[in-house]
Amino acid sequence: MRVACVQFDCQFAKPQENLATALSLMENERADLYILPELFHSGYLFVDEQELHELAEPVPDGKTVQALEDFAHKNGSGIVAGIAEKSGEHFYNSAVFVDETGFRGVYRKIHLYDREKLWFAPGEAPFEIWSFRDVNLGIMICFDWIFPESMRSLALLGADLICHPSNLVLPYCQNAMVTRCLENRVFAATANRIGRDDRDVIAIDFTGQSQITGPDGSILVRASKDQPSLLVQDLPLQQARNKQINEYNQLFTDRRPDFYHLD
Ligand code: ACM
């Protein structure tokens, strides 16, 4: 399966421009599945709730998801994209999954990072997986990576590829994904943004280096720190089904949950 991470500088409060930038990068090269950054249409650094009222969209009826559905339908592709979602009284830091058949589902970020907690409600639904062609996709968003339970949950559900829309700030994730993938024997596609959100009172720099990581922990491809790019790789995703480490060890059946303290 040809998987592509879309990396660019998402401009704060410029949803149409951000959508156009993402689509033009995606039009450069055909892929089965495109992963876009977290909050790719709105930008990241909100400074008050009114901004979310203006920028968050209903899922799946908002303009951005509709445009992604059109692209997916026209190109016969899947897309996982980070979206600021408005639902009733709540805002969620979400990722939608659409494919050529239309809207497939939404994941609402479970582990909110830093000031996200001021505006967003944490996702209240457990991790889940979606079938896409002959593989299973899991979705987590950015800071979810720091909790090993996120990818473990998705791997135990049968995910072959972890789709990982991101706006990474800390410098650790890309290297940590080596271990996350190795300890779960799954592929991961981390689509990170570049650039800076500068809101006068506060500013954040993002780390770029979008990355596709293999189930043996190999970094298959990594983008630059500061250039927009489409990071494309053909992935033998079925390889993630093999959890055998050697003749005597199997990653999942060798687990001893009776001896773990998880609460
Ligand atoms: C993050 O979760 N956007 C750091």
* Probe residue for ligand 1, chosen from 120, 166, 209 as the CB with the greatest number of ligand atoms within 8 Å: 166
Residue 247 pLDDT: 98
Catalytic residue among 142, 163, 173, 181: 142
> What are the structural domains, with CATH classification, of the chain?
2-259 (3.60.110.10)
| Environment class of 146 (CB within 10 Å of its CB; exposed 0-12, middle 13-18, buried 19+) | middle
Question: How does pLDDT run across 88-128, given as a tens digit for each residue?
Answer: 999 999 999 999 999 999 999 999 999 999 999 999 999 99
Using DSSP, state whether 232 is helix, strand or coil: strand
Which among 97, 45, 66, 82 is positioned nearest to 190, based on CA atoms?
Answer: 82
- The predicted model scores a pTM of 0.98
Question: How does pLDDT run across 5-54, given as a tens digit for each residue?
Answer: 999 999 999 999 999 999 999 999 999 999 999 999 999 999 999 999 99
d(CA 31, CA 77): 7
Question: How does pLDDT run across 54-85, given as a tens digit for each residue?
Answer: 999 999 999 999 999 999 999 999 999 999 99
Which among 33, 30, 24, 23 is positioned nearest to 165, based on CA atoms?
Answer: 33
Question: How does pLDDT run across 157-197, given as a tens digit for each residue?
Answer: 999 999 999 999 999 999 999 999 999 999 999 999 999 99
Catalytic annotation on 49? no
Catalytic annotation on 63? no
Looking from the CA of residue 38, the nearest atom of ligand 1 is: 3
Q: In angstroms, how far is the first alpha carbon of the chain from the final one?
A: 37
